[in-house]
Amino acid sequence: MLPFANMSGDPEQDYFADGMVEEIITALSRIRWLFVIARNSSFTYKGRAVDVKRVGRELGVRYILEGSVRKASGRVRITAQLIDATTGTHLWADRFDGLMEDVFDLQDRVALNVASVIEPVLQSAETSRSVARPTTDITAYDLYLRAYATHLSAGPQSGGALQLLDQAIERDPYYGPALALAAVCYGRRYTLGGSEDREADEGKAAALARRALQVTADDPAVLANAAYALTFLGEDIGAMIALVDRALALNPSFARGWYISGTLRLLADQLDTAIEHAENSLRLSPRERVGWAHYVIGAAHFFSQRFEEAVPKFLLTMQEDPSGTTCYRILAACYAHMGRLKEAREVVARLRVITPNVMPTVRLLRNPNHRELFLSGLRMAIGETE
C-alpha cells in the first residue's frame, strides 16, 4: 500500500494522510490470507513518481493500493485505486466522503472494498472481524497519529511524542494504542537514558502498559508494545513472549511484532529463534526499519560467538541509526573478542563522541554468560584506549 497523497493544501496535514494509510494497512493485515507489506517500507516511495510494476517487484507484492486524502472544513474525502502490479491493470477505484467523525467508518470501507476485489469469498467474514475501533474520539486519534509519526526516531528523548500521547490519553483514558505507545516511550527513556526521574518513568511505563492490556485484549500493536515496554522494566520474559505470540497470531503480517518478538527471544537466550523472527520483520518491511532488526540478528550471532557473522549486522545498524550507543558498545566488544583491537579502539573513540558513558548497564540480558561476554569484550576494547 503506497502512501496516500495529501490533497489538503497544507503540508502539516501529511501526518493525517499517513495515519489514514496506517489504519487501512492494519485493517488489511488482520485478514489472515493477505500478506501486507509494512508501512515503513512502502513509505520509502512517498513523494515519488512510481512505476507500479517496479514497486511490485521491489516489495514482492502482487497488488498496489494508492490514493489520496483531502481533509477540510470538518470533512474527509478518500480516493483509492487498486492496481495489479504484475500487469499494471486497474482493478478497482472509488471515492469515500464523510464527516471527520465518520473517518473510522471510511477507513473500514476502503479496506473492505479492497479485500472484496482481491478475494470475494473470504473478505466478508474476515474483514468484519477486523473493524473494531480503539477510540471514537477524533481529537485523541489525531494526537495519536502525530505521536506515532515521530516516536521511532525520538530515541530516549521522547518528550514530544509523550506530550501528544498524554493529551490523547487525557481525552480517552481507555485508548489502548496510545496507552501502549506511551508505555514504550517511558520504558525506552527509563532504559536508554535521558530520564530526569527514572523511578517515575518506570512507574508510568508499567501503569500505562498494564492499563493498555486491560482495555484492549485483541489489538496486536497494543499487545506487542505493552510487552515490549514491560520487558524494559524486567517483567517475566516468558509471559511477555506469550503476549507477543498472541499478537502475531492475530496479525501474522505485523512487521514490528516480529521485531519485538525477536528482541524478546534474544533476551530469553532463544538465539536462533531471535534471528528467524527478526528476519521475518525484515521480510515484511524490506525497505525501512520498524526497529533494530539487524541489531537483533547481530547480537544473536555475537552471543553464539559467531563474531564474523555479527559484525556486518552491527555495521548495518549503525548506518541506519548512527546515534544508537548500544550498537557501538557491542561492536567494540565483538572486535575485541576477534582480536581486532585497533578497530575496537576506533569504535570506542566514536562512541565517546556520542556519550561519555562507555560501560553500559546490562540488566536486560537475562543470561549471565551473555552479560560477561559483552562486558569482557568491552573492557578489552576500553583497556586498549586508556
Q: Along the chain (386 residues), what's the average pLDDT of each consecutive run of 10 residues?
A: 80 76 73 65 73 83 83 83 81 80 75 60 38 72 81 55 91 92 88 77 92 86 94 90 92 89 96 96 76 93 97 92 88 96 95 87 86 94 66
Looking at the structure, tell me whether residues 95 and 160 fall in a common domain: no
Question: Does the pTM of the predicted model rise above 0.85?
Answer: no
What residues contact 344, with CB distance under 8 A and at least 6 apart?
332, 333, 335, 336, 377, 380, 381, 384
Looking at the structure, tell me whether residues 101 and 21 fall in a common domain: yes
Residue range(s) defining the domain that contains residue 103: 5-128
Whether residue 60 lies inside any domain: the answer is yes
Residues 200 and 69: their CA atoms lie apart, in Å, by 40
What's phi and psi for 64, nearest 5 deg?
Answer: -120, 130
> Residues, the chain, total?
386
Looking at the structure, tell me whether residues 141 and 35 fall in a common domain: no
Looking at the structure, tell me whether residues 110 and 156 fall in a common domain: no
Which residue type occupies 44? Answer: T
Looking at the structure, tell me whether residues 113 and 162 fall in a common domain: no
Whether residue 332 lies inside any domain: the answer is no
Residue with cell 565483538: 334
Looking at the structure, tell me whether residues 189 and 96 fall in a common domain: no
What residues contact 28, with CB distance under 8 A and at least 6 apart?
1, 34, 36, 111, 114, 115
Coil, strand, or helix at residue 69? Answer: strand
Residues 329 and 113: their CA atoms lie apart, in Å, by 49
Average pLDDT of the residues of the chain: 83
Residues 280 and 244: their CA atoms lie apart, in Å, by 14
Looking at the structure, tell me whether residues 44 and 146 fall in a common domain: no
Residue 34 is predicted with a pLDDT of 65
Q: Give 244-279 as a 3 state SS string.
A: HHHHHHHCCCCHHHHHHHHHHHHHCCCHHHHHHHHH
Looking at the structure, tell me whether residues 24 and 76 fall in a common domain: yes
Whether residue 381 lies inside any domain: the answer is no
Number of domains in the chain: 2
Residues 147 and 162: their CA atoms lie apart, in Å, by 7
The CATH number that applies at residue 191 is: 1.25.40.10
The CATH number that applies at residue 89 is: 3.40.50.10610
Looking at the structure, tell me whether residues 188 and 114 fall in a common domain: no
Residues 309/275, Cβ–Cβ less than 8 Å = no
Residues 118 and 112: their CA atoms lie apart, in Å, by 10
Whether residue 293 lies inside any domain: the answer is no
Residue 207 is predicted with a pLDDT of 93
Whether residue 364 lies inside any domain: the answer is no
Looking at the structure, tell me whether residues 123 and 177 fall in a common domain: no
